[in-house]
Structure 1
Amino acid sequence: MVAVGDSAGGNLVAALTLLAKERGGVRLLQQVLLCPVTDAGLDTPSYQEFAHGYFLGRETMRWFWDQYLPDVRQRSQATASPLRATLEQLNGLPPALVVTSEADVVRDEGEAYASKLRAAGVPVVSIRYHGTIHGFMVLDPLRHTDAARAALVQVLDTVHVALHRHRG
């Protein structure tokens, strides 16, 4: 199985891979995280730089977190904020493709998560698409742009390789 998620879906995919490793039984071949939400801190430089006027803002993200996990204490758990997972928890996770957008509040946490996965020994391809905003692959007015098409091809190629690698 290959798990793909965009934004909060990227958060769910990261949590899924952690839980699959912890509990066993499900073998994930690849994780694909698109503009993933990986930390509840809302305090990275990209949160400051793109807090307003770039589709997804800091206060909107705060509202999303308040709806998702009203108990702030739960937000520090690795399944809520995968960036806070230990290297031991991350070691052995499936290879990852992490796609980030240049003008996105969650850019830095996505890139930090890719770096932490790499530090844990997970094979990672991480790419930032310049000139893009959060959700550029799925927002109707943007999904036909060159950047969105290139990212989609990269995702499809990654999934294809993962599935064929598994078949041997």
Structure 2
Amino acid sequence: MPLDPQVEELLRELAEIGCPALEDCSPSEARRNLASRIDSFSELEDISLTRDGIAPAEELPAGLPSIPYREYRPNDNPVLPALVYFHGGGWVIGDLDTHEGICRALANEAGCAVFSVDYRLAPEHKYPAAAEDCYAFTRWLSENAAEKGIDAQRIAVGGDSAGGNLAAVVALMARESGLSGICLQ
């Protein structure tokens, strides 16, 4: 089956900048390759505020580590709706830096705060580690919404590729656990 023309174009562009095919790399090599070339993919939009933070382990379910995140705010409104964003990368690659461009654009276009979650990656961390991290972060943000300047009843979850899958999983976990405030997926 032939590849989609847009995928063929992307693979050609990656080869032109010297990025080896993913199937020829270990997970750590693929991560390094992506990180070293991320500036080639997009320019970063200006945004009002960007800050890194940590959802501390002591405020998360027992056994989970602290979860790093990056917050993007498009303006200085004291209370904003939020999008909890889970990056793509096949559950193996991607991080806060690789998806900064899309997070800035989403914050600016939607007029909401975006919280990009640095969940644990496979294969070092087996299923369900990524889903647990994403749900725990979403619950933590909901519980700390006032402190974070977020409207607790206007929290959306989303992502690209594997991150889209994680958003669907988090929405289902939220429904099953009775977590309120998730208004969009």
Is TM more than 0.5 here?
Answer: no
TM-score scaled by length of structure 1: 0.31
Higher RCO (Cα < 8 Å, 6 or more apart): 1
TM-score scaled by length of structure 2: 0.29
> Which structure has more helix as a fraction of its residues?
1
Higher gyration radius (CA): 2
> Which structure has more strand as a fraction of its residues?
2
